[in-house]
């Protein structure tokens, strides 16, 4: 199977965190360990230079963009399956987004996740033109990013027109809003290319619900989420792979799988609320991911490029709570058994 076929079939794509030292330099050893962890856990793809990797590597710390993309791609291609799909996040105005896509293409990435970050209040027409130009370089995954972390809501027609672009192969729906998610789903369904555009959930607050849902349309057709490209899946990734497999079984009528998912759904959302700092307006989202990986030994600390980006007051207590409450979600034993080899 080719990488883009892996994407179309639906898979687990963790949104890659950025490994830093306490001095805020790039920790290549631990970044490589993260890649190895995701590969060993069974992820079918990796997404680097996305929100979880910190958008600062596209702006104030742009000197890190190439090294991060290069290390992730080199490690994945050398040690992973040939059908692994590599996704690079690109941001900014059209010229910047195109240049970043060209960099990703030169490093062997298969597609770009086109983030609505750094484009101000550009019109939907301008954003669609941006998508076309980036799509001349690499296939595009559209991205509905929640407003709390730099996104904005688009019209239903925007998603139809985006899907009509021949180079668009997928959309990550991550508005953290059911109404906006339905706008995306129905917008894609109205496109003549709807069968060529694969829908991925990025709704970390509703992962199981998205994966088992079938969205019916007036013409008798239906739409499903094929997989997930998620920051939440950058932690406890072994369980994420199991969750997607259970969702596939449940969609095919497996009652036991559906019952198992019912037992995952609430705890996973509860855990995500703590890790992503929902109570703090998601201000501690990235440090929360780092804290989970730190506890498992994969990261050395929770440091971010922006010194103001840190765990929110009370967030550590919340992570302690969900850590104790939902041990079935964690893959601690799996990580502990392989950590030394991943860090080698």
Q: In what order do the strands lie in the sheet with 198-201?
A: 12-14, 227-230, 198-201, 168-174, 140-145, 111-114, 85-90, 45-48
Q: What b/e readout covers 48-76, taking b as 16+ CB neighbours within 10 angstroms? A: bbbbbbbbbbbeebeebbbebbebbbebb
**DSSP per-residue string spanning 204-264:** TTSHHHHHH--EE-TTS-EE---EEEESGGGSSHHHHHHHHHHHHHHHTT-HHHHHHHHHH
Topology of the domain covering 3-343: TIM Barrel (3.20.20)
148 pLDDT exceeds 80? no
CA separation for the pair 86, 100 (Å, rounded): 14
**For 9-64, what is the HEC assignment?**
HCCEEEECCCCECCCCCECHHHHHHHHHHHHHHCCCEEEECCHHHCHHHHCCCHHH
Question: How sure is the predictor about 151, in pLDDT bands with cuts at 50, 70 and 90?
Answer: confident
Whether 203 contacts 181, CB under 8 Å = yes
125 pLDDT exceeds 90? yes
Q: Please give the average per-residue pLDDT across 204-227, as a whole number.
A: 93
Measuring CA to CA, which residue among 2, 6, 58, 342 is closest to residue 198?
6
Q: Give pLDDT tens digits for 1-30.
A: 899 999 999 999 999 999 999 999 999 999
Measuring CA to CA, which residue among 197, 255, 254 is closest to residue 226?
197
**What is the pLDDT at residue 219?**
86
CA separation for the pair 174, 156 (Å, rounded): 15
Whether 44 contacts 229, CB under 8 Å = no
221 pLDDT exceeds 90? no
Q: Please give the average per-residue pLDDT across 303-328, as a whole number.
A: 97
Residues 6+ apart with CB under 8 A from 54: 18, 61, 286, 304, 305, 306, 309
The structural domains of the chain, with segments of one domain joined by +, span 3-343
Give me 86's structure tokens.
């590599």
Q: Give pLDDT tens digits for 179-202.
A: 999 999 999 999 999 999 999 999
DSSP state of 191: S
**What is the pLDDT at residue 120?**
83
């Amino acid at each position: 199977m080719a990488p883009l076929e892996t994407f179309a079939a639906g898979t687990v794509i963790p949104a890659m965190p950025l490994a830093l030292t306490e001095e805020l330099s790039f920790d290549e050893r631990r970044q490589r360990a993260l890649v190895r962890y995701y590969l060993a856990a069974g992820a079918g793809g990796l997404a680097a230079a996305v929100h979880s990797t910190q958008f600062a590597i596209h702006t104030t710390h742009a000197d890190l963009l190439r090294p991060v993309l290069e290390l992730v791609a080199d490690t994945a291609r050398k040690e992973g399956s040939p059908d692994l799909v590599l996704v690079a996040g690109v941001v900014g105005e059209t010229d910047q987004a195109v240049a970043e896509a060209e960099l990703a293409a030169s490093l062997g990435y298969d597609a770009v996740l086109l983030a609505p970050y750094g484009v101000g209040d550009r019109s939907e027409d301008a954003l669609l033109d941006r998508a076309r130009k980036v799509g001349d370089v690499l296939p595009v995954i559209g991205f509905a990013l929640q407003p709390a972390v730099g996104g904005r809501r688009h019209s239903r027609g925007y998603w139809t027109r985006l899907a009509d672009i021949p180079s668009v192969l997928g959309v990550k729906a991550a508005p953290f809003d059911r109404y906006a998610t339905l706008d995306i789903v129905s917008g894609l369904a109205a496109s003549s290319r709807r069968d060529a555009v694969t829908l991925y959930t990025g709704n970390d607050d509703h992962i199981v619900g998205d994966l088992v849902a079938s969205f019916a349309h007036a013409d008798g057709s239906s739409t499903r989420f094929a997989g997930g490209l998620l920051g939440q899946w950058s932690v406890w990734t072994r369980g994420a792979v199991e969750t997607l497999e259970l969702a596939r079984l449940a969609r095919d009528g497996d009652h036991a799988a559906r019952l198992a998912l019912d037992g995952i759904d609430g705890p996973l959302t509860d855990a995500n609320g703590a890790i992503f700092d929902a109570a703090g307006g998601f201000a501690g989202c990235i440090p929360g991911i780092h804290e989970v990986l730190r506890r498992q030994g994969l990261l050395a600390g929770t440091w971010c490029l922006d010194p103001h980006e840190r765990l929110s007051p009370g967030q550590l207590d919340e992570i302690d709570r969900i850590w104790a409450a939902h041990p079935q979600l964690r893959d601690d034993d799996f990580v502990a058994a392989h950590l030394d080899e991943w860090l080698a």
